Amino acid sequence: MSDIKILAIESSCDETAASVVVNGRDMLSNVISSQIDIHTLYGGVVPEIASRKHTERINRVVDKALKDAGLALKDVDAVAVTYGPGLVGALLVGVSFAKGLAFAAGKPLIGVHHIEGHICANFIQFKELEPPFPCLIVSGGHTTLARVKDYGEYEILGRSCDDSAGEAFDKVARAIGLGYPGGPKIDALSNEGDPEAIPFPRAKVDGSDYDFSFSGLKSAVLNYLNSCNLKNEEVNTADVAASFQKAVVDVLVEHSMLALEKGGEKRFAIAGGVAANRHLRAAFEAACAERGVEFFCPAPVLCTDNAAMIGAAAYFEYIKGVRHGLDLNAVPALRLGERM
Amino acid sequence: MNILALDSSGAVASVAISCDGRIRGEYSINHKLTHSETLMPMVNELIRRTEYETDKTSVIAVAAGPGSFTGLRIGAAAAKGMAFALGCDIVPVPTLEGLCYQLTEYPGLICPLMDARRAQVYSGVYRFESGKLKTVFAGEALALEEQLGRLKELDSDVMFLGDGVDVHMEAIKEHMGDHCLMAPEHRRYQNAACVAKRAEEMLAEGVAAVKAEDFAPEYLRRSQAERERDERIAAEKA
């Protein structure tokens, strides 16, 4: 079979991205236009502004992805686009653009699940990686522990019942005056703090070994800061950051290792924006090494929202014959493994 | 000159094809707000039925705003995607001007009104002179009362159209009295054939089409977050 080249588009949150991926494994280009500077002014992503910026930027991003790949639109075999989950207005820009593009170019269209994309970033980074394996997806909007049973086949083991890990990072960062985005800032500050300094809680969710809850942890941090304030005690923000981060990472590692033990796989992967967190990577590396499990984690540029991962996921749909019609809609609450 | 025209700025989803100044086909649906599901299938259906050769498209004309933010972007992004593939430019047609083309033969003042929520309308005032659209008051987001106040001073008959008419019928009649005329229901809303006609006229008047990558809707209103941030900064300065 000849090579399958997919032009992929991603606009589910605040990154406008496009990429060309060959056979789901080789990335010929990976263009990401971030809006983070704009949203930082507002302390978080503003959906309406994100949607407007996507509309302004999408043609240039797609054009650059094709040019970087050294291809013309006629050379690609299909157009792929993220259609959920995410911000509906932001998703609609990518979906509407991709439909117009695919229609006018006479190319097949493939809608892709954003989280499946994150998982598939591992297939680009590690050419030898094959299912089955459990995977933890941690990002600004999502915390999901899933079993990748086969290409395009997923079983959700656990999810966050409230805040995603990324949201908890953002909220705690705001509370200790670090600002947005919280993840990288807490990661950096924790280097100077003692992760055992403050005993923040590790929450269990009743009736589930795998579900996560981070809102209690977030409240515990806020209460701690309040009580220091009332007692006129100076807060060591580096200790708070390090202890909070350790509490998040401990829970993520514990649930993931339990999934490995029950499933018996010898491979484990992480994905998503928060997977770029250095402490989290280190903790998973250690936990997997201890168990003789091979650990996979994409490079930071493939952890953040990008379109290469969408092109990878789309390939495995493409070879199964999945095609979407021109009535493809954005589905903001699309579940992992769900197909529309 | 072959024009593919789109309007998804309001409740109506509408697509049209104009070939050398003749509307070859027009397809409008005023039923539920599902533009993201319906607009491109409508384009596909219309092109198929009219045996239109898509790659012969000279420009894509699109209702560029004002309108529903999401609706505008569904049309804009679809137009930008098609224009990218076809290598053609885009003619951004102001939604209010496109609406006026429902009434090209009407000699008096025309006031399109679109409901803008937040106690405002998107509206302008226009008239056709020798078949050419002239702007009396440019389109903007403003309070209905403000627009009606200006119109009253002109002391002339005004023909109203747009979905704002449905929302504000009583207030308009009360303000304008005998000077109030309403476009009939079947010519009251956005329509892509009108967008195509307006685009032809704009090009004839020398308005340049824009590169697909440079096109973005004209919302006539900033996002709520931007407005609130500016208010906060202004309050802090004061």
Query: What digits encode the pLDDT tens for the residues B81-112?
Result: 999 999 999 999 999 999 999 999 999 999 99
- Residue A1 pLDDT > 70, yes or no? no
Residue A169: its pLDDT value, please?
Answer: 93
What residues of chain B lie within 8 A of the CB of A108, using their CB? none
Which contacts of A32-36 are long-range, i.e. CB under 8 A and separated by 24 or more positions? Answer: A32/A301, A32/A304, A32/A305, A32/A306, A32/A307, A33/A57, A33/A60, A33/A61, A36/A181
Please tell me the distance in Å from A164's CA to the nearest CA on chain B. 23
Size of the A and B interface in Cβ pairs below 8 Å: 117
Would you call A94 and B77 a contact, using CB atoms and an 8 Å cutoff? yes
User: Using only C-alpha atoms, what is the Rg of chain B?
Assistant: 18
- The H-or-E segment that residue B225 falls in is helix B224-237
Quick check: A46 and B223 in contact, CB under 8 A? yes
> Is the preceding peptide bond at B66 cis, omega within 30 degrees of 0?
yes
> For residue A87, what are the CA distances in angstroms to A40, A54, A222, B165, B222?
17, 12, 28, 32, 19
Dmax (CA) for chain B in angstroms is 63
A 251-290: CB under 8 A from B: none
By C-alpha distance, the chain A residue nearest B39 is: A327
B 33-62: CB under 8 A from A: 34, 36-41, 43-44, 54
Q: Does B82 touch chain A (CB under 8 A)?
A: yes
User: Using only C-alpha atoms, what is the Rg of chain A?
Assistant: 20
- List the domains of chain B with CATH numbers: 2-96+190-227 (3.30.420.40), 104-187 (3.30.420.40)
Helix (H, G, I), strand (E, B) or coil at A159: strand
* Phi, psi (degrees; rounded to nearest 5) at A67: -65, -45
Helix (H, G, I), strand (E, B) or coil at A218: helix
pLDDT, one tens digit per residue, over A46-60 is 999 999 999 999 999
What residues of chain B lie within 8 A of the CB of A93, using their CB? 73, 77
Would you call B70 and A92 a contact, using CB atoms and an 8 Å cutoff? yes
What residues of chain B lie within 8 A of the CB of A99, using their CB? 40, 78, 81
> For residue A100, what are the CA distances in angstroms to A148, B38, B191?
32, 12, 20
Residue ranges of E strands in A53-142:
78-84, 109-113, 133-138
By Cβ distance, the residue of A41, A103, A105 closest to B40 is A103
Would you call B223 and A56 a contact, using CB atoms and an 8 Å cutoff? no
Strands A267-271 and A153-159, sheet pairing: unpaired
Q: Does A38 touch chain B (CB under 8 A)?
A: no
By C-alpha distance, the chain A residue nearest B54 is: A104
- List the domains of chain A with CATH numbers: 5-120+304-318 (3.30.420.40), 130-302 (3.30.420.40)
The mean pLDDT of B119-139, rounded to a whole number, is 96
Query: B219: which 2 tokens?
Result: 């919302």
Q: Does B29 touch chain A (CB under 8 A)?
A: no
Residue A28: its pLDDT value, please?
Answer: 98
- Residue B135 pLDDT > 80, yes or no? yes
The mean pLDDT of A297-320, rounded to a whole number, is 97
By Cβ distance, the residue of A46, A96, A102 closest to B74 is A96
- DSSP percent split of chain A into helix, strand, coil, nearest 5: 45, 20, 35
ipTM: 0.97
pLDDT, one tens digit per residue, over B154-212 is 999 999 999 999 999 999 999 999 999 999 999 999 999 999 999 999 999 999 999 99
Angle at B138 between CA B132 and CA B141, to 5 degrees: 140
**Residue B56, Cβ density class (10 Å: 0-12 exposed, 13-18 middle, ≥19 buried):** exposed
By Cβ distance, the residue of B41, B82, B225 closest to A48 is B225
Residues linked to residue A156 through DSSP beta bridges, in sequence order: A146
Residues linked to residue B137 through DSSP beta bridges, in sequence order: B125
Q: Closest Cα partner for A3 from A107, A76, A111? A: A76
Quick check: B165 and B188 in contact, CB under 8 A? yes
Q: Does B226 touch chain A (CB under 8 A)?
A: yes
pLDDT, one tens digit per residue, over A11-31 is 999 999 999 999 999 999 999
pLDDT, one tens digit per residue, over A159-171 is 999 988 989 999 9
Residue A180: its pLDDT value, please?
Answer: 84
- Residue B57 pLDDT > 90, yes or no? yes
Q: Burial code of A89-126, b = ≥16 C-beta within 10 A, e = fewer?
A: bbbbbbbbbbbbbbbbbebbbbbbbbbbbbbbbbbbbb
The mean pLDDT of A168-191, rounded to a whole number, is 92
In whole angstroms, give the CA distance from residue A161 to residue A106.
42
pLDDT band at residue A207 using 50, 70 and 90 as cut-offs? confident
Which residues, at least 6 apart from B191, have a Cβ–Cβ distance to it below 8 Å? Answer: B7, B12, B14, B16, B26, B28, B98, B101, B102
- What global pTM score does this model have? 0.96
What residues of chain A lie within 8 A of the CB of B41, using their CB? 325-327
Q: What DSSP designation does A151 have?
A: T
pLDDT band at residue B120 using 50, 70 and 90 as cut-offs? very high
Q: Closest Cα partner for B15 from B68, B70, B75? A: B75
Query: A143: which 2 tokens?
Result: 């915390």
Q: Closest Cα partner for A62 from A106, A26, A28, A31? A: A31
Query: B130: which 2 tokens?
Result: 């020798």
pLDDT band at residue A340 using 50, 70 and 90 as cut-offs? confident
Sign of CA dihedral B75, B80, B85, B86: positive
Q: Does B223 touch chain A (CB under 8 A)?
A: yes
Which residues, at least 6 apart from A181, have a Cβ–Cβ distance to it below 8 Å? Answer: A36, A40, A140, A169, A170, A173
A 51-90: CB under 8 A from B: 51-52, 54-56, 58-60, 62-63, 73, 88-89
In whole angstroms, give the CA distance from residue B201 to residue B104.
12
CA atoms within 13 Å, Cβ hemisphere of A26: 7
Alpha carbon A61 to its chain centroid, in Å, reads: 20
What residues of chain A lie within 8 A of the CB of B80, using their CB? 55, 58-59, 97, 100
